[in-house]
Amino acid sequence: MAIELTVNGKAASVDAEPDTPLLWALRENLGLTGTKFGCGVAACGACSVHIDGQYARSCSIPLSEVAGKSVTTIEGLKSADGTLHKVQQAWIEQQVPQCGYCQSGQIMAAVALIDRVGTPSDAQIDEAMTNICRCGTYPRIRKAIHAATGKAAIAVQGEA
């Protein structure tokens, strides 16, 4: 029986077993491969997405739990006209990715953090950014989060 949900703002129907992790439904049923498999036990965060706006590790959330909910993946962060999210732009400006494999998850975690607290402090970054990066891009992740939020503040001032 198909499970209905919203993915990146569009209605989606996934014909998979209810215990299938959201990660594999996204990757294999919906072809959204930007969300990555890293560990399968919610230890690394490579599979991070947003469910109804909340940060979640999709490898450990069964499809049945997201029926009727709204899921956002890395592919859904761009605005309708293709403009990158300010966090994605900051990731390019700060040259964050190395191998890049964990970065979809890092960006989803950063966006969720910024959505939640606005301009995060270092302590809030420490607490929220728990995804693993084996390449060790942490210092640039921190810089990019600050840059993304600093720029947002400037933009708001400019508009006023």
Residues of the shown chain interacting with other proteins in the complex, contacts defined by CB under 8 A: 16-17, 19-21, 24, 27-29, 31-41, 43-44, 46, 73-75, 77-78, 84, 88, 91-92, 95-104, 107, 122, 125-127, 129-142
Q: Between β-strands 48-51 and 3-7, what pairing exists: parallel, antiparallel or unpaired?
A: unpaired
The candidate with the shortest Cα–Cα distance to 69, out of 85, 45, 50, is 50
Question: Least Å distance between CB 42 and other proteins?
Answer: 8
Q: 52 or 126, CB closer to other proteins?
A: 126
Q: How far is the CB of 98 from other proteins (least distance, A)?
A: 3
Q: How far is the CB of 157 from other proteins (least distance, A)?
A: 26
Beta carbon nearer to other proteins, 69 or 138: 138
Residue 54 vs 95, nearer CB to other proteins: 95
Report in angstroms the alpha-carbon separations of 74 from 8, 9, 71, 126, 154. Answer: 9, 12, 10, 22, 25
Nearest Cα to Cα of residue 49 among 72, 29, 15:
72
